[in-house]
């Protein structure tokens, strides 16, 4: 009979099926069925899929923020070229700078769940 791997020795005894992933470990004692294994595995698969989707969303948001940062350089240069900006132009620039700062803060802190305030 195969031995239980050391990391599972405290939670399982042989013979058993050990399912591990997404920070979760599930032990099914033998005898078990293929249906029982599939049912026990589903929460792990769901958690792994959700984590992968969140990671893809964060990568897309990071790319979006980096694109906005590139555009911000051009917009800031345009504003700096105005010799005597009007009050409306200054107000618009302050609002733009606030969004740009939010984008930089999100990138610096790796808070990439949204870009709605950038």
Tokens of 103: 């984008």
Q: Cα–Cα distance between 27 and 19 in angstroms, integer? A: 6
Q: What is the average pLDDT score of the chain? A: 89
Q: CB of 69 within 8 A of CB of 103? A: yes
pTM exceeds 0.75 for this model: no
Q: What is the pLDDT of residues 38-53, one digit of tens each?
A: 898 999 999 999 999 9
Q: CB of 25 within 8 A of CB of 8? A: yes
Where in the chain are the domains?
Answer: 6-109
């Amino acid at each position: 009979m195969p031995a239980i791997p050391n990391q599972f020795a405290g939670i399982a005894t042989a013979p058993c099926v050990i399912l591990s992933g997404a920070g979760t470990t599930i032990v099914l004692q033998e005898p078990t069925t293929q249906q029982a294994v599939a049912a026990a595995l589903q929460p792990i698969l769901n958690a792994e899929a959700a984590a992968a989707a969140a990671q893809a969303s964060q990568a897309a948001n990071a790319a979006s923020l980096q694109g906005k940062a590139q555009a911000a350089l051009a917009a800031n240069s345009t504003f700096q070229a105005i010799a005597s900006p009007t009050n409306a132009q200054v107000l618009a620039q302050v609002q733009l700078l606030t969004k740009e700062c939010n984008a930089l803060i999100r990138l610096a802190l790796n808070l990439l769940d949204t870009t709605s305030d950038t």
